[in-house]
Amino acid sequence: MRLIGRMNAANLRSAMLSYQHEYHAGNHADVLKHAVFVRVLSALLQKDRPLRVFDAHAGSGLYDLGSREARRHVEHEGGIGRLLAAPAPPPALMAYLEAVRACNGGAALRRYPGSPWLARSLLRPADQLVLMDLHPRALEVLRRRHGHDPQVHVHARDCFEGLPALLPPPERRGVVLVDPSYELKDDYARVVDLLASCHRRWPTGVYLLWYPLLRDQPGERLPARVAALGIRRIYQLAVEVEGRGFAGMRGSGMLVVNLPYGLDAELEVLAPWLWRTLAVAGRGAAHAGWLVPE
């Protein structure tokens, strides 16, 4: 029994360590996730009171699109590359696209900002950012980049234990991004439990949960499991850029608990616009609406 336990822990660790976001930075899934994250955070920043951002799966925070990993499948060309080239993006995208341009110092696309970079670029002096990860390389980069920043707190911590332990934050206002790679199949169930326990501790927090849509995967069942938690005011967006038979990730979705008031109208426009801009040969679909209303 102890041996099996140890083997499982080793397998879990190696699956976690094998994931490298460098291969996927700026792809269609990042675009959906980051567009919603930046829009929600910008809306919360409209009020004067300080807030705290929790990035439970931070990654390394900034990606070189010229790296060997990024050039392998050039996934950003079908994601942020298309967005930057598209005419008349909707208002919900403006702050995100501005942040991507600021990260690149102009129009040329050389780098892609991850969620830590995006969050840090928006914070005011009294706001705080908590970054959690377990990957030694991601942690090293995060510490190098943010180690001396008094507003950023880097935690080498398993978010399934560490995130609930930090809630509610002293500011009592803020947002949590839950963004695992789902390399570990347990993560589909664990994120639902995580959301339930975080919401019990901090019911007024805004929670963003990203999930992938893959063939024969439980991502599709995730929204129903979240809806069954009894939490109110959950908004859902999904953008599929490929058809159902596609062998890889055909799309992804975001669930937003406690979506700030007024944003539903903007997200309703954003989802179909993203689909039209990102879909491969008109395949796939978009969805936006309340999963659980008020």
Chain residues that interact with ligand SAM, rule: CB under 6 A? 16, 19, 21, 33, 55, 57-59, 114-115, 132-135, 138, 158-160, 179-181
Q: Which is nearer to ligand SAM, 117 or 202 (CB)?
A: 117
The Cα 88–Cα 198 span in angstroms is 38
Q: Which is nearer to ligand SAM, 176 or 270 (CB)?
A: 176
127 is catalytic: no
The Cα 112–Cα 267 span in angstroms is 23
- For residue 184, the 8-state DSSP code is S
Q: List residues bridging with 207 in a β-sheet.
A: 176, 257
Q: Which is nearer to ligand SAM, 20 or 151 (CB)?
A: 20
Pairing of strands 52-55, 174-178: parallel
Closest residue to ligand SAM using C-beta atoms: 114
Catalytic residue among 30, 55, 127, 179: 179
Torsion of CA 144, 111, 44, 134, to 10 degrees: -40
Residue 294 CB, shortest distance to ligand SAM, in Å, is 28
Residue 49 CB, shortest distance to ligand SAM, in Å, is 25
Q: Which is nearer to ligand SAM, 160 or 235 (CB)?
A: 160
Residue 162 CB, shortest distance to ligand SAM, in Å, is 7
The Cα 188–Cα 180 span in angstroms is 9
- For residue 205, the 8-state DSSP code is S
Residue 132 CB, shortest distance to ligand SAM, in Å, is 5
The Cα 26–Cα 13 span in angstroms is 25
Where is 285: in which H helix or E strand?
Answer: strand 285-292
Q: Which is nearer to ligand SAM, 56 or 92 (CB)?
A: 56
* Nearest by Cα to 175 from 36, 63, 30, 65: 36
Exposure class string for 231-257: b at 16+ Cβ within 10 A, else e: beebbbbbbbbbeeebeebbbbbbbbb
Residue 281 CB, shortest distance to ligand SAM, in Å, is 27
Q: Which residues are catalytic?
A: 179
